[in-house]
Chains A and B, each alone.
Chain A
Amino acid sequence: ARRCASPAGDKMAGADGDDSLYPIAVLIDELRNEDVQLRLNSIKKLSTIALALGVERTRTELLPFLTDTIYDEDEVLLALAEQLGNFTMLVGGPEYVHCLLPPLESLATVEETVVRDKAVESLRKISHEHSPVDLEVHFEPLVKRLASGDWFTSRTSACGLFSVCYPRVSSTVKAEIRQHFRNLCSDDTPMVRRAAASKLGEFAKVLELEYVKSDIISLFTALASDEQDSVRLLAVEACVSIATLLPQEDLETLVMPTLRQAAEDKSWRVRYMVADKFSELQKAVGPEITKNDLVPAFQNLLKDCEAEVRAAAANKVKEFCENLPEDSRETIIMTHILPCVKCPEVRLNIISNLDCVNEVIGIRQLSQSLLPAIVELAEDAKWRVRLAIIEYMPLLAGQLGVEFFDEKLNSLCMAWLVDHVYAIREAATCNLTKLVEKFGAEWAQNTIVPKVLGMANDPNYLHRMTTLFCINALSEACGQEITTKHMLPVVLKMSNDQVANVRFNVAKSLQKIGPVLDSNCLQAEVKPVLEKLAADQDIDVKYFAQEAVSVLALA
C-alpha cells in the first residue's frame, strides 16, 4: 500500500492499521453519500481510489460498481465520464483498456446530452489505446451494440464513435461500420438522424475517397432533404467538410446542387445556417464556384424575406469580400454585393475595412455608392447611429484623401458640431482634432478654423460653447501662431457673453490654451480678462477664473 495525500481525518489508531487506508476508505464510502458534493468529490478522486486498490481490484470490483452507478446526478456522471477517459494506466495499461468500456457504454445511454457527449469523448480517447485486435474484439462490438440499441440515446452516441474505429479495422468490419452509419442516417427518430448528420463530415474524413463519393454523397443528399428542419440544417454544416474532401471537378456535380437547394430552402432556419457558414463554404468550394454560384446565393440571402437571415448574411459580408480573389473583387463587390446590402452600417463596414479602397475603387464610384450611405447615417434619427459614423470619419478621411473630404464630408463634420445631442457634439469635436492631426495645421487654418470661430456668434449658447470646446481641442494641434492670431481673440471676446456658462468656459479655455501661448501674450491679454472674470457676479465664473489664474501662474 502506498502513502497518499489525505484530506482531514483522524489517523487510524494502532500500529497495525495502515495509515493510508483510512482516507481511501472514506473516499470509497462517500461514493454512496447522500450529499452530491461528497459523491462528486470522490468521483473526482477516482484515480486515488484506483491506485490504492491496485489494477486488478480496480478492474474486477471498482469498474463493475461504476457501471451500475448511473442513477446519479448529471454533474457526478459527467465527472465520472471524464475520469474514465484517463483511466488506462489505472486498469493495467493498454492491454486492459477494454475493461473501461462497460461503464462508458452505460454512460453513453444517459439522456443528458452533456454526459453522453463526455462519455463518447472518453470512448474516443481510449479507442486509440486499443490494439487493432482489441478494437475488433471489444470496441467495435460496443459500437455495434449502441448502433442497434433500442434507445435513441445509444444510437445517437454510436454516431460519434464510427470515425475513431474505422481507420484501424479490417475491410469486412469497415463495410459493417458503413452499413451501420447508413442505417442511422435513415433512422426513424429525428434525434438519431441529427446525430448522424452532425457527424457526417467527421466520418467522411476517415473514409476512402471512393466511399466518400459512393456512400457519403447519397447520405448527405438524403439528410439535406429530410422532412425535419433540424436535420436539414445540420446537413449544411456537413457540406463544408465534404466539400473540402472532394476534388474541385466533383464539387459541381456532387455538392453544389444540394447547397443551392439549401440556400433556397423553405425553412428560414436552413437558409440562416447557409448564411452563417458562408465564409467556410466559400473557402471550401474555391474561387471559381464562388464566383458563379455563391455570389448569386449570397445576394439572395442578403435580400431574404426573413430578417434573421439577412442579419446573418450581413454579418458575413466583410469576410466574404475579403476572401474574394483579388482580380474580381472590385467588380463583385461594387456590382453584386453593395447594392444588396441595404443596411448602411454594413456597407460602411465593408469599405472601411478594405485598405485598398481608393486604389481599387475610384473616387467617383466611391462617392456614388458610399456617400449616400454616409449622409444617411450621419442624419439618422438615432443618435447612437450618428455617433458610430463620426467614429469612422477620421479613418475614412484618411482613406479618401483631403480633397474628397473637403468637397463632400466637411459640411457634415461641421453640422455635427451643432447637433442637439451633447454626445454627438463632443464626438464631433474629438473628430476634428483627429482630422487636424491627419491633414495638418495649415489645412485646419484654411478650412475648419474659420467655421469653428464663426459659431461664436451663434444665437444658441450651446453652440457658442462648442466653439470654446473646439478651440480647447484644436489649439495644441494648430500651434501657437494660429491660436494666438485667430483663436484667442474670439475667446477673449466671449468673456463678455451674457450667459454665465459661456463665461466660465472662457476661463476654462484660457486655462487650457494658456500653455500654447507665449508669456507676453499671457500677461498682456489673458491676465486682464481673467481678472475681470474673477470679479464676475456669477460664483462659478469667479471660481474658474481664479483657478485659471493660479494654474497659469499669473497672479
Chain B
Amino acid sequence: MEGDGGSEFRQWCLSQVKGAIDDDVTEADIISAVEFNHSGELLATGDRGGRIVIFQQEQESKALPQSRGEYNVYSTFQSHEPEFDYLKSLEIEEKINKIRWLPQKNAAHFLLSTNDKTIKLWKISERDKRPEGYNLKEEDGRYKDPTSVTTLRVPVFQPMDLMVEASPRRVYANAHTYHINSISVNSDNETYLSADDLRINLWHLDFTDRSFNIVDIKPTNMEELTEVITASEFHPLQCNTFVYGSSKGSVRLCDMRAAALCDRHSKLFEEPEDPSARSFFSEIISSVSDVKFSHSGRYMMTRDYLTVKIWDLNMESRPVETYQVHEYLRSKLCSLYENDCIFDKFECCWSQDDSEVMTGSYNNFFRMFGRDGQPGMTLEASWESSSPRCPLRPWRVCAGSRRNDDEIGVDCLDFSRKILHTSWHPQDGIIAMATINNLYIFQEKLN
C-alpha cells in the first residue's frame, strides 16, 4: 500500500502551468528537456522543435513564500535547426535532448544545449540601454542634409525597456557518430563531457575544434555490440570523477586522473540479478535511463524502468535504497513493449537538501520518495484537478477497479501522458516537470 502523503511528506501546491492548454499538440511543442539553473532563478525548457524557452522567477514575489514558484517567460530562442547528414542520408533532428546551465560568471547567463549531434553554448544577456544620437541621420533613420551638420556628435546611452538577448557563443560539432544522450559540466567550470551511445568526449568550453575521447566502448566487431551508454554525469565536487550508466543496468565510475583514456572503470555499480524475476524483458527494464549525483556528492541515484535506486559511492555491490516507481506495470510489460512505452527514458532528481527524490510516471503522475525506504507518494500534474494554494492530493493505483476517489485502476492509466523530464530547484522546494507539452511548476507548501 502506498503512503498516504501524510505529515511526514512535504505538501505540494500547483503554482503554474505553461504552454497551450488544449488537446491539439504539435510535435514541435513537445517538451524534451527541463532544467533549473544553479540559483534556481531561471528555468529552461527545450522542445522537439529545437526551441528553448527560459522562465525567470518573478523577482517581486520571490520573497513571498506562497508565490515564490511564479515564473514568467524571460527569453525564447531557436537553439537547433534540423539538419541533413548527406553521407548517411539521415535527418538530424533538432529536438533538444539536454540542457545544462553553467555556473554564473558575470551578469550574463550561459547554458549548453544539445540535440543528437551538436552542442551549443548560449549566452543570455540583458540590455537596458540603447545609444541615441546620429550625426548624419535622424533617430528614425532619415538622412539629414549634410550641410546642416556643423559639429560632431557622440551617441549617448539612454535607458530602454529591458531586452533579453540570446546569442550562440560556441558550436561544438562533429564529434559524435551516435546520438548524444547526455552533457555534464565539470566542477572546474572549464570542461564538460558529452556522451553518445558508445563514446564519451571531453571538451574545453573555449575550444570547439577539438575534443578528447575518454571512453570508447565500441567493439571492433559491431556484431558483438551488447551494451550502450545511456547517461553520464560528472561528480559535483570532484573534478576527476564521472559516471556512466549502461543499457544493461550497470553504472561505471571513472577516474580521469588515473589515465588519459578511461576505458577501464574504477568502480562498477551493479546489483546482482534476482534469478526468479528473470524474464524476456529483464534486460530492457534494467537499462539505466538517468543517473544523478546527490548535491553532497556522496550518493548517486539511478532510474531504470520500474525503480529508482540510491547508491552509496563507497559500495558497489548493491544500492542502499530501492524505490518502486510503478511496480504494478511489471505484469503489463508485454503490452508496454508492444506500444514501445517500455523504452521510455524517465529522469529523476534530488531535492535541494538530498532528503527526497522525485521521478515521473504515466498518467501524468509523478512519484516522491523520502529517503526512508517507504513506498513514497504519487501526485498528479493536472491543471484540471488542482487549484493554486491547495495541496495536491495523493493518488493510489490499484490492480483492479477503483473503490475510492483517490484511486485509479491500472488499466485506466493513460500511457500517452507521461512525465519524463523533471527538475528540482537547487535551493528551494520548487519542482518543474514536463507533461507532453505543458510545463508544470509546483511549490512546497510551507506551514
A residues near B (Cβ < 8 Å) are: 10, 12-14, 16-18, 21-22, 24-26, 28-29, 31-32, 52-53, 57, 61-62, 64-65, 68-69, 71, 109-113, 151-154, 189-191, 194, 227-230, 265-269, 305-308
In the complex the two chains form, what is the Cα distance from A498 to B126 in whole Å? 86
Given known pairs A32-B155, A190-B187, the reply for A14 and B260 (CB within 8 Å) is no
Query: Which residue of A153, A194, A228 contacts B106 across the interface (Cβ within 8 Å)?
Result: A153
Closest beta carbon of chain A to B347's beta carbon, Å = 27
Determine whether the beta carbon of A229 is less than 8 Å from that of B157: no
Query: Which residue of A22, A65, A265 contacts B131 across the interface (Cβ within 8 Å)?
Result: A65
Determine whether the beta carbon of A31 is less than 8 Å from that of B260: no
Determine whether the beta carbon of A113 is less than 8 Å from that of B206: yes
* B408 cross-chain contacts in A, Cβ below 8 A: none
Say yes or no for B147: interface residue by CB 8 A criterion.
Answer: yes
* B155 cross-chain contacts in A, Cβ below 8 A: 28, 31-32, 65
- Among all A-B residue pairs, the 5 with the closest Cβ atoms: A25-B135, A267-B257, A61-B154, A151-B106, A152-B105
Determine whether the beta carbon of A14 is less than 8 Å from that of B259: no
In the complex the two chains form, what is the Cα distance from A485 to B211 in whole Å? 64
B residues near A (Cβ < 8 Å) are: 103-108, 110, 123, 125, 127, 129, 131, 134-137, 146-147, 149-157, 165, 169, 187-190, 206, 237-240, 256-260
Q: Could you show 8 A-B contacts with beta carbons less than 8 Å apart?
A: A21-B151, A28-B153, A32-B134, A110-B106, A152-B106, A152-B189, A229-B239, A265-B257
In the complex the two chains form, what is the Cα distance from A503 to B129 in whole Å? 87
Query: Which of B129, B136, B154, B187 has the largest number of chain A CB atoms within 10 A?
Result: B154
Determine whether the beta carbon of A268 is less than 8 Å from that of B258: yes
Closest beta carbon of chain B to A308's beta carbon, Å = 5
Closest beta carbon of chain A to B203's beta carbon, Å = 14
Determine whether the beta carbon of A111 is less than 8 Å from that of B108: yes
Determine whether the beta carbon of A28 is less than 8 Å from that of B154: yes
* A53 cross-chain contacts in B, Cβ below 8 A: 152, 154
Report the nearest A residue to B129, measured CB to CB.
A68
Report the nearest A residue to B125, measured CB to CB.
A71
Determine whether the beta carbon of A228 is less than 8 Å from that of B187: yes
Determine whether the beta carbon of B150 is less than 8 Å from that of A16: yes
Report the nearest B residue to A154, measured CB to CB.
B106
Determine whether the beta carbon of B147 is less than 8 Å from that of A17: yes
Report the nearest B residue to A110, measured CB to CB.
B106
Report the nearest B residue to A22, measured CB to CB.
B146
In the complex the two chains form, what is the Cα distance from A53 to B152 in whole Å? 7
Query: Which residue of B190, B239, B260 contacts A308 across the interface (Cβ within 8 Å)?
Result: B260
Given known pairs A17-B146, A111-B108, A153-B106, the reply for A24 and B152 (CB within 8 Å) is yes
* B154 cross-chain contacts in A, Cβ below 8 A: 28, 53, 57, 61-62, 65
Given known pairs A22-B146, A152-B105, A153-B105, the reply for A52 and B238 (CB within 8 Å) is no
Closest beta carbon of chain A to B210's beta carbon, Å = 15
Closest beta carbon of chain A to B255's beta carbon, Å = 8
Determine whether the beta carbon of A69 is less than 8 Å from that of B123: no
Query: Which residue of B125, B153, B257 contacts A266 across the interface (Cβ within 8 Å)?
Result: B257
Given known pairs A65-B155, A111-B105, the reply for A306 and B260 (CB within 8 Å) is yes
Given known pairs A10-B146, A32-B131, A307-B260, the reply for A190 and B105 (CB within 8 Å) is no
In the complex the two chains form, what is the Cα distance from A65 to B257 in whole Å? 48
* A227 cross-chain contacts in B, Cβ below 8 A: 237-239
Closest beta carbon of chain A to B168's beta carbon, Å = 12
Report the nearest B residue to A18, measured CB to CB.
B150
In the complex the two chains form, what is the Cα distance from A53 to B131 in whole Å? 18
* A12 cross-chain contacts in B, Cβ below 8 A: 146-147, 149
Closest beta carbon of chain B to A181's beta carbon, Å = 20
Closest beta carbon of chain B to A59's beta carbon, Å = 11
Report the nearest B residue to A152, measured CB to CB.
B105
* A110 cross-chain contacts in B, Cβ below 8 A: 106
Query: Which residue of A16, A62, A191 contacts B147 across the interface (Cβ within 8 Å)?
Result: A16
Report the nearest A residue to B157, measured CB to CB.
A68
Report the nearest A residue to B237, measured CB to CB.
A227
In the complex the two chains form, what is the Cα distance from A474 to B260 in whole Å? 50
Query: Which of A14, A16, A53, A228 has the largest number of chain B CB atoms within 10 A?
Result: A228
In the complex the two chains form, what is the Cα distance from A181 to B127 in whole Å? 33
In the complex the two chains form, what is the Cα distance from A379 to B129 in whole Å? 72
Determine whether the beta carbon of B131 is less than 8 Å from that of A69: yes
Query: Which of B123, B152, B155 has the largest number of chain A CB atoms within 10 A?
Result: B152
Closest beta carbon of chain A to B253's beta carbon, Å = 15
Determine whether the beta carbon of B259 is less than 8 Å from that of A21: no
In the complex the two chains form, what is the Cα distance from A13 to B238 in whole Å? 70
Closest beta carbon of chain A to B259's beta carbon, Å = 5
* B257 cross-chain contacts in A, Cβ below 8 A: 229, 265-269
In the complex the two chains form, what is the Cα distance from A12 to B135 in whole Å? 13
Report the nearest B residue to A73, measured CB to CB.
B167
* B149 cross-chain contacts in A, Cβ below 8 A: 12, 17, 21-22, 25
Report the nearest B residue to A31, measured CB to CB.
B155
In the complex the two chains form, what is the Cα distance from A274 to B218 in whole Å? 33
Known: A29-B137, A152-B105. 5 other contacts (CB 8 A): A25-B152, A62-B154, A190-B189, A268-B257, A306-B260
* B259 cross-chain contacts in A, Cβ below 8 A: 268, 305-306
Determine whether the beta carbon of A17 is less than 8 Å from that of B150: yes
Determine whether the beta carbon of B152 is less than 8 Å from that of A28: yes
Report the nearest B residue to A32, measured CB to CB.
B131
* A18 cross-chain contacts in B, Cβ below 8 A: 150
* A305 cross-chain contacts in B, Cβ below 8 A: 259
* B136 cross-chain contacts in A, Cβ below 8 A: 25-26, 29
Query: Which of B129, B165, B257 has the largest number of chain A CB atoms within 10 A?
Result: B257
* A268 cross-chain contacts in B, Cβ below 8 A: 257-260
* A26 cross-chain contacts in B, Cβ below 8 A: 135-136
Determine whether the beta carbon of A228 is less than 8 Å from that of B239: yes
Given known pairs A28-B153, A65-B156, the reply for A14 and B106 (CB within 8 Å) is no
Query: Which residue of B123, B165, B238 contacts A111 across the interface (Cβ within 8 Å)?
Result: B123
Given known pairs A28-B152, A268-B258, the reply for A111 and B106 (CB within 8 Å) is yes
In the complex the two chains form, what is the Cα distance from A162 to B206 in whole Å? 25
* A307 cross-chain contacts in B, Cβ below 8 A: 260
In the complex the two chains form, what is the Cα distance from A296 to B158 in whole Å? 66
Query: Which of B123, B136, B157 has the largest number of chain A CB atoms within 10 A?
Result: B136
* B146 cross-chain contacts in A, Cβ below 8 A: 10, 12-13, 17, 22
Closest beta carbon of chain A to B445's beta carbon, Å = 33
Closest beta carbon of chain B to A74's beta carbon, Å = 9
In the complex the two chains form, what is the Cα distance from A455 to B1 in whole Å? 93
Determine whether the beta carbon of B239 is less than 8 Å from that of A29: no
Query: Which of A154, A194, A230, A265 has the largest number of chain B CB atoms within 10 A?
Result: A230
Determine whether the beta carbon of B157 is less than 8 Å from that of A65: yes
Given known pairs A25-B149, A307-B260, the reply for A189 and B129 (CB within 8 Å) is no
* B157 cross-chain contacts in A, Cβ below 8 A: 64-65, 68-69
Determine whether the beta carbon of A21 is less than 8 Å from that of B152: yes
In the complex the two chains form, what is the Cα distance from A32 to B237 in whole Å? 44
Determine whether the beta carbon of A29 is less than 8 Å from that of B134: yes
* B107 cross-chain contacts in A, Cβ below 8 A: 109, 151
* B129 cross-chain contacts in A, Cβ below 8 A: 68
Closest beta carbon of chain A to B48's beta carbon, Å = 30
Query: Which residue of B108, B125, B135, B165 contacts A29 across the interface (Cβ within 8 Å)?
Result: B135
In the complex the two chains form, what is the Cα distance from A22 to B148 in whole Å? 11
* B106 cross-chain contacts in A, Cβ below 8 A: 109-111, 151-154
In the complex the two chains form, what is the Cα distance from A31 to B137 in whole Å? 14
In the complex the two chains form, what is the Cα distance from A306 to B256 in whole Å? 11
* A29 cross-chain contacts in B, Cβ below 8 A: 134-137
Given known pairs A17-B150, A28-B153, A230-B188, the reply for A267 and B240 (CB within 8 Å) is yes
* B105 cross-chain contacts in A, Cβ below 8 A: 111, 151-153, 191
In the complex the two chains form, what is the Cα distance from A31 to B107 in whole Å? 23
Determine whether the beta carbon of B189 is less than 8 Å from that of A191: yes
Closest beta carbon of chain A to B296's beta carbon, Å = 15
* A151 cross-chain contacts in B, Cβ below 8 A: 104-107
* A68 cross-chain contacts in B, Cβ below 8 A: 129, 131, 157
Closest beta carbon of chain A to B444's beta carbon, Å = 28
Given known pairs A111-B123, A307-B260, the reply for A28 and B150 (CB within 8 Å) is no
